[in-house]
Amino acid sequence: MIKLIDLGAEYGRIKSEIDEGIREIVEAQQFTDGGHIGRFEEEFSKYLGVKNCVGVSSGSTALDLALLALGIGEGDEVIVPSFTFIATAEAVSHVGAIPVFADSDYDTQNIDVDKLKPLLTGKTKAIIPVHLYGNPCDMDGLMDFAREYELKVVEDAAQAQGAVYNGRKVSTIGDVGCFSFYPAKNLGAYGHAGAAVTDDDELAEKIRLLSNHGRRTHYAYKMVGYNYRMDSIQAKVLSIKLTHLKEWNERRRKLADIYTESLKDLPMGLPKRDDDKIPVYHLYIIRTDRREKLVEWLKERGIETRIHYPLPLHLQPAYGHLGYVEGDLPVSERLAREVLSLPLHPYLEEDKVHTVIESVREFFS
Ligand SMILES: Cc1ncc(COP(=O)(O)O)c(C=O)c1O
């Protein structure tokens, strides 16, 4: 069986570091404090080149807090891609605002900056670009657009730890960047965790307060907040794994390049690699209108695949009340019909990548 991702293989390589780190916390009974969270926040800020990092309970809560801290709320509209994981849009709904779904670019699978203007209304307050699959969005165009119309920008970098756009790590370009450290992410915790990052000290302070019951001191509350804090075991695991992230992302790029080089003559879409972007291949995605048959073909050969994502958000029942119909966002709908994720993780052996390549080539022959 060739797995899509293999967290067990990763654990095998860093077992002694992880076991020791977790034991240290359990023995000291420092489950929610002990400086581990602050340490990770500092290390991650330094890695990204950003002033502030607030560790939180998940990528979803990071997005919620970013919008709350920016003052987005009831009656506001926020532009989000339809072709993404639902948490991007849910955050908008959680603060009482309305998600306005934008179509994506077929080649990059990211929000199509050229299609944003018609979505603007007097209520538009923000835009959430998602660096989908670890591939940076066209941030220059997006930031120009946001500045022209005075929109806040929250980067959803949940899938893009370490990805670079024009020399800057994604998440540090907009007003706030949000990360998920869901276990399967390039930098993954051993449970749920996330972070919000920003150069704006005031915004960071607000996010921190909101994430911790609006608490100034132990029983003094400045505002009504939430318990969206990160815990110590997650912070420790993330600190350990962060020291490996550069090498892991490089390995992902190497394997992705092997896929691309070996599949490029086949009649299907492959990830596009622009000169101004360094992607981190959270997922390696191909596009084909023969997807269902290919899934079966690979499954019969012991190769695991998955579809990220089979239905765009504007057609999800959860957003039925917004009144979108099929055909409204044709590129998102086409991507949902065609995308397929092939196995990719830092500990995937090259001979297994070649087995996948041979099976895909055989399918198209
Ligand atoms: C693009 C995107 N945004 C947000 C999230 C939410 O992150 P979490 O699962 O940590 O809440 C995810 C995670 O799966 C994601 O892929």
Tens digit of each residue's pLDDT (9 = 90 or more) over 167-176 = 999 999 999 9
Chain centre to alpha carbon of residue 131:
6
Distance from C-alpha of 36 to C-alpha of 58, rounded to nearest angstrom: 17
Kindly state whether residues 38 and 77 are assigned to the same domain: yes
Is residue 2, in this structure, part of any structural domain at all? no
Phi-psi category of residue 214: left, alpha or beta, with phi > 0 → left and psi -120 to 50 → alpha: left
Q: What does the pLDDT read at residue 316?
A: 98
Kindly state whether residues 16 and 93 are assigned to the same domain: yes
Indicate if the pLDDT at residue 34 is higher than 90.
no
Q: Residue 338: which CATH number?
A: 3.90.1150.10
Tens digit of each residue's pLDDT (9 = 90 or more) over 175-207 = 999 999 999 999 999 999 999 999 999 999 999
Is residue 324, in this structure, part of any structural domain at all? yes
Where among 239, 254, 284 does a domain terminate?
239
Q: Residue of the nearest CA to atom 12 in ligand 1?
A: 158
| Ligand 1 atom at shortest distance from the alpha carbon of 58 | 10
Q: Does ligand 1 come within 6 angstroms of the Cβ of 85?
A: yes
Where among 214, 239, 264 does a domain terminate?
239
Q: Does ligand 1 come within 6 angstroms of the Cβ of 180?
A: yes
Cβ-contact 131, 157 below 8 angstroms? yes
- Long-range contacts of 207-214, Cβ-Cβ distance < 8 Å, separation of 24 or more: 207/54, 207/56, 207/65, 207/66, 207/69, 207/176, 208/54, 210/65, 210/68, 210/69, 211/54, 211/56, 211/57, 211/61, 211/65
**What confidence category does residue 218 fall into, taking pLDDT thresholds of 50, 70 and 90?**
confident
Two tokens at 223? 């505002």
Q: Does ligand 1 come within 6 angstroms of the Cβ of 87?
A: yes
**Separation of 97 CA from ligand 1 center, angstroms?**
19
Kindly state whether residues 211 and 299 are assigned to the same domain: no
Return the exposure string of 36-61: e unless at least 16 CB atoms fall within 10 Å of the residue's CB, then b: bbebbbebbbebbebebbbbbbbbbb
Kindly state whether residues 189 and 280 are assigned to the same domain: no
Indicate if the pLDDT at residue 219 is higher than 90.
no
Kindly state whether residues 156 and 95 are assigned to the same domain: yes
Distance from C-alpha of 82 to C-alpha of 102, rounded to nearest angstrom: 6
Average pLDDT over residues 120-135: 98
Average pLDDT over residues 207-216: 96
> 45 Cβ partners below 8 Å, 6+ apart?
51, 52, 53, 197
Give the relative orientation of helices 36-48 and 232-263 as an angle to the nearest 10 degrees. 30
Kindly state whether residues 187 and 305 are assigned to the same domain: no
**What is the percent of the chain where pLDDT is above 90?**
98
Chain centre to alpha carbon of residue 4:
17
Q: Does ligand 1 come within 6 angstroms of the Cβ of 110?
A: no
Q: Does ligand 1 come within 6 angstroms of the Cβ of 188?
A: no
Structural domain count of the chain: 2
Q: Does ligand 1 come within 6 angstroms of the Cβ of 158?
A: yes
Q: Which of 152, 169, 185, 241 is catalytic?
A: 185
Cβ-contact 128, 78 below 8 angstroms? yes
Residue type, 323: G
Where among 239, 262, 279 does a domain terminate?
239
Cβ-contact 360, 353 below 8 angstroms? no
Q: What does the pLDDT read at residue 230?
A: 98
Distance from C-alpha of 58 to C-alpha of 238, rounded to nearest angstrom: 13
Indicate if the pLDDT at residue 242 is higher than 90.
yes
Q: Is 243 helix (H, G, I), strand (E, B) or coil?
A: helix
Q: Does ligand 1 come within 6 angstroms of the Cβ of 233?
A: no
| Ligand 1 atom at shortest distance from the alpha carbon of 159 | 16
- What is the extent of the structural domain holding 339? 245-364
Chain centre to alpha carbon of residue 305:
19
Q: Residue 201: which CATH number?
A: 3.40.640.10
Is residue 192, in this structure, part of any structural domain at all? yes
Tens digit of each residue's pLDDT (9 = 90 or more) over 291-313 = 999 999 999 999 999 999 999 99
Kindly state whether residues 257 and 229 are assigned to the same domain: no
Q: What does the pLDDT read at residue 216?
A: 85
Q: What does the pLDDT read at residue 217?
A: 82
Average pLDDT over residues 124-153: 98
Site to probe by mutation for ligand 1, drawn from 85, 156, 282 as the one with most ligand atoms within 8 Å of Cβ, is 85
Kindly report the number of other CB atoms within 10 A of residue 19's CB atom.
11
With CA atoms as reference, report the closest residue to 256 among 336, 167, 345: 345
Site to probe by mutation for ligand 1, drawn from 58, 60, 78, 82 as the one with most ligand atoms within 8 Å of Cβ, is 60
Average pLDDT over residues 57-73: 98
Q: Residue of the nearest CA to atom 7 in ligand 1?
A: 59
- 206 belongs to the catalytic site: no
Cβ-contact 286, 269 below 8 angstroms? yes
Tens digit of each residue's pLDDT (9 = 90 or more) over 82-109 = 999 999 999 999 999 999 999 999 999 9
Kindly state whether residues 272 and 188 are assigned to the same domain: no
Kindly state whether residues 29 and 124 are assigned to the same domain: yes
Is residue 1, in this structure, part of any structural domain at all? no
DSSP codes of every residue in 244-310: HHHHHHHHHHHHHHHHHHHHTTSSSB-----TTEE---SSEEEE-TTHHHHHHHHHHTTB--B-S-S
Phi-psi category of residue 360: left, alpha or beta, with phi > 0 → left and psi -120 to 50 → alpha: alpha
Q: What is the mean pLDDT of the chain?
A: 97
- List alpha helices for the chain, DSSP H: 7-28, 36-48, 59-69, 87-94, 139-148, 201-211, 232-263, 291-300, 330-338, 350-364
Q: Does ligand 1 come within 6 angstroms of the Cβ of 57?
A: no
Distance from C-alpha of 107 to C-alpha of 77, rounded to nearest angstrom: 27
